[in-house]
Structure 1
Amino acid sequence: MPTALVTGATAGIGNAFVHRLAADGYSVVLVARTESRLREAAAQVEADYGVRAEVLPADLSTAAGRLAVEQRLIGGDPVDLLVNNAGFGTTDQFADMPFDRMQGQLDVNVTSVLRLTRAALPGMVERGHGAVINVSSISGFFPATGALYGATKSYVTAFSEGIAPTLKGTGVRVLALCPGFTRSEFHERAGDKTQTLPDFMWLSARKVVDECMTDLANGRIRSIPGWQYKFLVGTTRLVPHGLLRRLEARVARDRT
């Protein structure tokens, strides 16, 4: 039975990954900050799919939390699929954001992706199979919609796409998942005012995960779920850079 480790596993896209992977026959390692929610999610998965669900409480904004997950990836039972999903956003203006919150966002969105990917890949390469899915965001293509968050996601996409070609012939794959607006707790926690968005702009977490897994199976290194977001990313090649940034800034003001 293959094993998958998913960070941010108790809600939204992360939890959808847990259910999809368990349904596909993976045993799962669930990582998140709150142990009670982890145990509840793990019990549900074991009851629904009959697979083993391991819980690993860890706060990825801390060095200790990251180290605990790294040690599980390096020293525990082999992990065949790593899903770096944990992350958070804010709607604060950059100049108003407390420094500790900025650093926490960098630590979760960037440092944990870097370190956990590095921890997982050597074992996968040695075994000749495995995959890493790094959950980025459509915001990475439109960084003015949230300066720090967009920058962290630009990094995740570029980092993943940079690694992927170096693994050719190893049996190991890396993919950047770049979802748009997805119904979950994420936007509520970030303080987004997204209620004005039309329904067609919203994706379900299940759709995001299903399209991602199809793209991974097809050997792609970038997954952009939903026709509407594929179209949006396509416009970045056509719209002048200055106009694009002004439009992004307007969207950002509407969300705060």
Structure 2
Amino acid sequence: MTHPAARLPGTARPVALVTGPTSGIGQAYARRLAALGYDLVLVARDEQRLTALAADVELHLGTRAQVLRADLIDAADRDRVTARLTEGVDFLVNNAGIGSAGQFRSAEPAALRAQLDLNVTAVMELTRAALPPMVTAARGTIVNVASATGLVPGRAATYSASKAYVIFLTEGLAGELAGTGVRVQALCPGFVHTEFHRRAGIEVSSLPKPLWLGVDRVVAGSLRDLEKNRVISVPGMQYKALTAVAGLLPRSVQGRLNRGMFNASGRI
């Protein structure tokens, strides 16, 4: 039988599991949750960076952190993370994800499958594992990090499609979970100052400065929207305006607008 919210040994604090916390939004979320009184389970491929982050939050924020090295593209590693989630956590941040440069028609099929395994399959499986103990406990929060391009289709076809899945999954779950005490959110940032674009090989140096957001601002907006029970969180007034306007336009016009704003060298 699963415990509704398994604590880390020797503590009684709530537990948050964060994927992809070694940089960017994931790290900002992990630090913010630690400051709010959560112990952490940190999941990523880079064990050295995970260990450094765990030591840092324990030293400076007084929280406990468990390191769980896993490559969420790998099914066996996903199974190890889902096994931990079935023990119970209070907060899940599905942040790990990858983008890609280049065109769909020239991409290696294996790379496209890996992108979907991380951006879609991992989110689905980890969310599915976390929900039963949360519902049993009548409390819990899941934040699925999507993207503004899941709301307005982008030039990076597979990436945009994967984030649209995350948004639709989260919206569907919000209806299913009404009255259970469990909150879900799809966080849909635009361009954020992280390692994401460099790792994907995407050139973004020509993008206007007003389009960029800081990670702390993104996380703060997400948490404010959670308190207001907003299922879709779009940080930044510029992106709120863009997605609101785009939502009123026909799909064909949305596509032209997006191609004009986010050209082949600058995608999210």
Q: Give the aligned residue type for 2:179.
A: G
- Contact 1:22–1:49 under 8 Å retained in 2: yes
Q: Distance in 1 between matches of 2:223 and 2:36?
A: 11
Aligned pair 1:234/2:244, yes or no?
Answer: yes
Q: Which runs of 5+ in 2 are unaligned?
A: 1-12
In structure 2, the residue matched to 1:32 is: 44
State the secondary structure of the residue aligned to 2:213: coil
Match of 1:46 in 2: 58
Match of 1:61 among 54, 62, 73: 73
> In structure 2, what is the equivalent of residue 132 of structure 1?
142
Shift of 1:253: 2.1
Q: Displacement of 1:215 after TM fit? A: 0.6
CA apart distance, 1:144: 3.2
CA distance in 1, matches of 2:264, 2:138: 47
Q: Is residue 9 of structure 1 aligned with residue 30 of structure 2? A: no
Q: How does 1:1-256 map to 2 (within 5 A)?
A: 1-75=13-87, 78-250=88-260, 251-255=262-266
Q: 2: distance between equivalents of 1:17 and 1:144?
A: 26
Contact 2:153 2:254 in 1 (8 A): no
Percent of residue pairs bearing the same amino acid type: 49
| TM-score (ref. length: structure 2) | 0.92
Q: How far apart in 2 are the matches of 1:239 and 1:129?
A: 38
Q: Distance in 2 between matches of 1:237 and 1:105?
A: 26
Q: How much does 1:145 deviate?
A: 2.2
The whole-number CA distance in structure 2 between the counterparts of 1:35 and 1:85 is 17
1:183 to partner: Cα distance: 0.2
State TM-score, norm by structure 1.
0.96
User: How many Å separate the matches in 1 of 2:163 and 2:247?
Assistant: 19
> By how many angstroms is 1:24 displaced?
0.3
User: Does the CA-based 8 Å contact 2:147-2:189 persist in structure 1?
Assistant: yes
1:218 Cα deviation (Å)?
1.4
Count residues with an aligned counterpart.
Answer: 254
Root-mean-square deviation (CA, aligned residues, Å) is 1.2
Q: Give yes or no for contact 1:146–1:252 (8 Å, CA) kept in 2.
A: no
- Quote the Cα distance in structure 2 between the aligned partners of 1:240 and 1:127: 43
| Partner amino acid, structure 2, of 1:108 | L
> Larger % of helix: which?
1
Q: Secondary structure at the match of 2:207?
A: coil
Whole-angstrom distance in 1 between the partners of 2:206 and 2:29: 28
SS at match of 2:66: strand
Separation in 2 of the partners of 1:227 and 1:49? 31
Native 8 Å contact 1:143 1:149 kept in 2: no
